[in-house]
Amino acid sequence: MEEKRGRGRPPKYKTPEEMQIVIDQYFEECEGTLLTDKDGELKLTKYGEPIYIGAKPPTVTGLALALGFTSRLALLNYQDKEAFVNTVTRAKARVERYAETRLFDKDGANGAKFSLANNFRGWQEKQNVEMSGPGGGPIQYETMTAEERQERINELLGKA
């Protein structure tokens, strides 16, 4: 009997728990470190919020690189593995939550929209465009014959 050989690279993570450790480290690094004065007292903003230095926004690509993957797509492929689906989905949801909060921030709204539309399902800007023909009704080109379309074009160009 022929022995089965494994194909491809061995998995980067054997268990979701192993992956979760690296995910938690990534999000901790994104938070930055608290700013303190020379006496070790916490520095606060004028609103009483702690000040972080070295903070960076969490991103799907940043998460993928922190996990040792070569690309965002490699992380997304890991999400297809049954054992890792919840771990990766939860990590992506943390990135999504950050991007979503930036929608309310005028400086981060455009980047947040881009990230949400391209990295997460169900986020896309839709624009409905309605066109009306003579009499205000909708133009239904799909029901017009080629001859009718040409007549309409000539009418619009004043060649009727």
Q: Of how many residues is the chain composed? A: 160
pLDDT tens-place string over residues 59-85: 999 999 999 999 999 998 888 999 999
Judged against a pLDDT cut of 70, whether residue 127 lies above it is answered with no
Q: What is the DSSP string of 49-109?
A: PBPEES-----HHHHHHHTT-SSHHHHHHHTTSGGGHHHHHHHHHHHHHHHHHHTTSTTTH
Grouping H, G, I as helix, E, B as strand and the rest as coil, residue 42 is strand
- pTM for this entry: 0.63
* Under 8 Å between Cβ of 87 and 11: no
| Domains contained in the chain, CATH given | 16-119 (1.10.132.80), 128-160 (no CATH)
